[in-house]
Amino acid sequence: MSDSIISVKDLKTYFYLSTGIVKAVDGVSFTLSKGETMGIVGESGSGKSVTASSIMRLIQKPIGKIVNGEIIFEGKDILKMKNKELLDLRGKDISMIFQDPMTSLDPVYKIGQQIIEVIKVHQNVSKEKAKKIAIEALEMVGIPEAESRMNAYPHEFSGGMRQRVMIAMAIVCNPKLIIADEPTTALDVTVQAQVLDLLKDLQKKMGTSILIITHNLGVIWDMCDTVMVMYAGKTVEYAKTATLYEQPLHPYTWGLLDSMPKLSQDTEKPLKAIKGTPPDLKLTGNACNFHNRCPYAQEICKNKAPELIEIEEGHFAACHFQTKDKKLKRKEEV
């Protein structure tokens, strides 16, 4: 294993609302190695995006607050950085690709101006040089006629093209880590594949680490080396992608896998789903968050939160019934 680029330890991000404290991220830890891709998967509201925003320190103040943990990026704790260091970090060392390309570009500026702005903020180069770098970046992400497209406004681009522009803006300063927050969710299927291929290509060329946040397990199998499954603000399972695919351990992961439609499936039968809804994040803490939806739940699940333990080497899960000695058997049909 190569050395780590970013390592998150016991991250807790809470939102203080008038109705109570929402524990959006409640003790998440992971490590991402150089040049590797990690996926965070989970349903809506499981804390995936908040984890990403926490890494960038983009949590909305004063409601949201990172209450605990450390995020070590290249030996430095991001959570202890001063404002100026943060501005340097964002866009240069770590950059982010957002979910909705339709709204992620400033509508009043031309594409070229926006990319050049990023370059000028982080690199001390002349205007001509910045323009050249910008055109190169646009060509790299596969935008034809890059030079004349520099003068186009965002509304003159399609969604897929805009996402390419966003990616160009993210890679223009050769970041060491790219966080992609559901980069393909707002795109149609063919464009999704193109964008994912583009990300893979760029990673090969530049050796960047990528953190992908998605609720699409297909994207995970396609892209990631390791994967973390999140549920209600907590990590429920964390393993190499191949391991998780072949040998998932947590009942929630089983549920997720079962709910993926398969080609061989009987089309007469309805698609499978996990019954119930995720818990209110204001009330979590003293029980297994999944206990009310889990077909294997017992008394202990209601009274004690399970800890994330290493069950096999590099394979972590948080379930009372999955330990080194005792293993829960997955029921074939529930």
Shortest reach from residue 34's CB to other proteins, in Å: 21
- Distance CA(116)–CA(292), nearest Å, equals 51
- Work out which of 17, 87, 242, 309 binds other proteins, going by CB under 8 A: 87
C-alpha angle 56/22/311, rounded to 5°? 75
**Nearest CB to other proteins, comparing residues 98 and 252:** 98
Distances (CA, A) of 198 to 55, 140, 224, 246: 24, 9, 14, 27
**Nearest CB to other proteins, comparing residues 162 and 250:** 162
- Work out which of 64, 91, 160, 183 binds other proteins, going by CB under 8 A: 91
- Work out which of 38, 41, 71, 89 binds other proteins, going by CB under 8 A: 89
Distances (CA, A) of 121 to 76, 125, 174, 226, 320: 22, 10, 14, 33, 50
Q: Number of residues interacting with other proteins: please give it, by CB under 8 A.
A: 33
Shortest reach from residue 217's CB to other proteins, in Å: 25
Task: Indicate the pairing of strand 234-240 with strand 226-231.
Answer: antiparallel
Binding segment (CB under 8 A) for other proteins, from list 22-30, 84-92, 195-203, 300-308: 84-92
- Distance CA(143)–CA(224), nearest Å, equals 25
Which residues in 244-303 contact other proteins (CB under 8 A)?
A: none
- Work out which of 12, 34, 65, 92 binds other proteins, going by CB under 8 A: 92
Which residues in 94-123 contact other proteins (CB under 8 A)?
A: 95-96, 98-100, 103-109, 117-118, 121-122
Shortest reach from residue 46's CB to other proteins, in Å: 20
**Long-range contacts from 192-197, C-beta under 8 angstroms, 24+ separation:** 192/219, 194/142, 194/160, 195/160, 195/163, 195/164, 195/167, 196/222, 196/223
- Work out which of 12, 34, 65, 90 binds other proteins, going by CB under 8 A: 90
Shortest reach from residue 288's CB to other proteins, in Å: 33
Q: Which three-class secondary structure state does DSSP give residue 329?
A: coil
**Nearest CB to other proteins, comparing residues 53 and 241:** 53
**Which positions from 30 to 59 touch other proteins by CB under 8 A, shown as an x/- string?**
--------------------------x-x-
Interacting residues of 114 by C-beta distance below 8 A, sequence separation 6+: 105, 106, 165, 169
Q: Give all strands of the β-sheet with 4-17 in edge-to-edge order.
A: 20-33, 4-17, 64-73, 76-77
Binding segment (CB under 8 A) for other proteins, from list 1-9, 82-90, 129-137, 214-222: 82-90
Which of 324, 309, 317, 299 is CA-nearest to residue 254? 317
Shortest reach from residue 112's CB to other proteins, in Å: 15
**Nearest CB to other proteins, comparing residues 56 and 244:** 56
**Nearest CB to other proteins, comparing residues 153 and 245:** 153
Shortest reach from residue 83's CB to other proteins, in Å: 8
Total residue count of the chain as it appears in this document: 334
C-alpha angle 248/209/140, rounded to 5°? 125
- Distance CA(307)–CA(296), nearest Å, equals 17
Which residues in 136-175 contact other proteins (CB under 8 A)?
A: 144-145, 148, 152, 156, 166, 169-170
C-alpha Rg value of the chain to the nearest Å: 21
| DSSP type of residue 330 | P
Q: Which residues of this chain interact with other proteins, rule CB under 8 A?
A: 56, 58, 62, 87-92, 95-96, 98-100, 103-109, 117-118, 121-122, 144-145, 148, 152, 156, 166, 169-170
